[in-house]
Chain A
Amino acid sequence: MRQRRRGLWLVFAVVLFGLAAWLMLSGQGEEEAPPPPKVAFPNRMRPAERERMEKRRTYVAPVVDAGTVAQQQPIRPSDPILAALPRGKGKTAVVIEANAIRHSPIGEMLLECLMNREGAELERFKKETGVDPFQDLDRMVLTDDGVILSGNFGDDRLKNLLTSRGSTNYDYGDSARLFEPPVPQQRPDGSTRRGGPQVGLWNNQMLVFGRSADGVKEVIDRVEGRGPDEPPVISESSTYGEMYGVLSSEQLKKLFPKEQQELAARLAEVAENVELHVDASSDFAMTAQVKGPDAAKVTDLGKSLGGALSLARMQAQAEGKTEMAQLLDFAKVRPDGDEFKLELAVPLEVIKQQLAFCREQQSAQNEKPQEASPTP
């Protein structure tokens, strides 16, 4: 009897080992879980960006005053786009690396979406101007006074189009041509017929759109070395990321929604300007460096901003918006004396989900003609 009971323990043990193996195998699974998402924030210049920066030093401004000390200094080529940027405090300039964004995963998704919706319009634009925005456009700069585009704008069709607006056009500086639109005319109904923006084409590689002819001329002057001695608002060492630049506190205030105007006003009061860097090479990661003269006020603002982000995350969690909550998991504020750095990220997967509607629309459109066509 005792031997039989003892044997039962052995059988029991074997059964338990089998059960344990099955449970552990099912519980853990044979497939490795994907690693948790990691986002690389644009905090410094990477080797590829340094190489890009060096390649862009292509223009040597002609020396104006021969025989001065300036002539004796070695002539260093510069990036014409950086030279074109506004100078001094309180100015805004945001550079969008159109070509880099276009070749990023996010850019490809956006492009697919855009082609689905506006493909025909884009084709028409290419035919009329000879400019393919996806091939010929390198960078786009947004400033307080207008827009600057860099790339390949040498096609005659573009010049013909600019001339055909009925504008006066003339050469300016060393390598620029300015296209001034006709004077605004009063329509019979009282409205004004606008002639479009002032346009400047520099060296077939830079298009400058401005509100006034003087504004466009100032940009050309800066490129050709006739501008003020102050450095541009974006230094060469800050040209990292797919989008970067400096926002004045006034411009920043305009970007905030109505319900956050209090925070926007505080930001405008404390910060001199905000330096932005966006990395879209894999996920969408953004850093914003806020600088101000009063270190204590800047630190307090950083804490308030951190609190606002934390509240937004909690709200998203409470409302079951898991994607938004995951996104805000990466949000943090890093104070450092009279400045702080805000880091925000949107994982690529979240962007894919957000753009899913575009694919769904396209597949729905593709299915419709098939449904409509009679079956043989």
Chain B
Amino acid sequence: MNGVLGIAGYVLREAASRKFILAFLLGVTGVLVTLSLSLKIEVVDGALAASRLFGEVMDINIRAVDVALKPVFMAAAGIVFYGGILFGIVSCSDFATSLLSPGRIEHLLALPLRRWHILAGTFLGVMSLALLGSLYGSVGLVLIFGVKTGYWTMGPVISAMLACVSFAAVYSVMLTTATIIRSAALCAALGGITLVAGIIAGFRTKIAPFIEEGVSRELFKGVTLVLPRLSSLAKAGMDLAASTPLGVQSLTMLLAGVFVFGLGVLALGFWWFEGRDY
């Protein structure tokens, strides 16, 4: 286990040294600071009476704060979910390939580590990074709106956690790809394909009737059965952020399913990595 944590720490140190990640953190901070300084909100007895962004009146309707903020939190959850995954795909695509690059992998294999420790450590490191980033952004957003309106909700934070679990499924595919071909571009491409496939899988019941009945429809249903339902999780995250009723039957099971899919792909990566010669 120490080996896994050691590799995870190594990944985090590597991330900290990259200007790309630093720029991301500065960007999120900038958005939060700008929002807190430029947004003026007037609340009367729990109703949002007026809101101004950069001095411009935003929404003239007077309604309960939590109802008025629903679209804001939903949009924020959507941006955190899809934007976070996309950013993660791009920024983390070369972590695994650089760890598995010639010279470095031989050095790692010479250490008293099992092979799967290297992959599991990389996965853990990247996931810690994603968790910290999403927590930073979502807690900041909740704090800003909480202080300004007096309405406190954990919805956006929970929604950000859902985005992390979804990214775990996507990153496991990228990591496994890196064990087969050491190409950051290919890793990112497969991460992107997984994201798109995950969006489609979330809408499988809506899409299926448009496919010709028979083998093709059953094939579509069969393939999307295994794929992570990322769009469903994104929708659930948006519902949670806005404190609206969930559209899924059981969020826990859906969440566990997406995470277990990630573990399954990771296990496939372990199997392949164990058999490779370096």
Contacts and interface: CB of A to CB of B under 8 A. Distances in A.
A27 B46 contact: no
Contacts of B268: 9-10, 13
Contacts of A309: 47, 63-64
B208 to A, nearest CB: 10
B26 interface: no
A64 B264 CA distance: 91
Interface residues of B, number: 46
Interface stretch (A192-200, A213-221, A331-339, A365-373): A331-339
Most chain A CB atoms below 10 A, which of B61, B63, B65, B258: B63
| Interface majority SS (helix, strand, loop, mixed), chain B | helix
A332 B254 contact: no
Most chain A CB atoms below 10 A, which of B47, B252, B263, B270: B47
A12 B45 contact: no
Interface in A1-31: 2, 5-7, 9-10, 12-14, 16-17, 19-31
B79 to A, nearest CB: 21
Contacts of B31: none
A6 B274 contact: yes
A310 interface: yes
B255 interface: yes
Contacts of A331: 63-64
B256 interface: yes
B271 interface: yes
Contacts of B253: 23-24, 26-27
Contact of A28 (B47, B229, B264): B229
Interface stretch (B132-140, B182-190, B241-249): B241-249
A210 interface: no
A109 to B, nearest CB: 24
Interface string A302-324: 11111111110110000000000
The 7 closest A-B pairs by CB, nearest first: A27-B254, A307-B45, A306-B62, A23-B257, A16-B264, A27-B253, A24-B257
Interface of B: 44-47, 49, 60-65, 67, 116, 202, 205-206, 225-226, 228-229, 232, 244-245, 247-258, 260-261, 263-265, 267-268, 270-271, 274-275
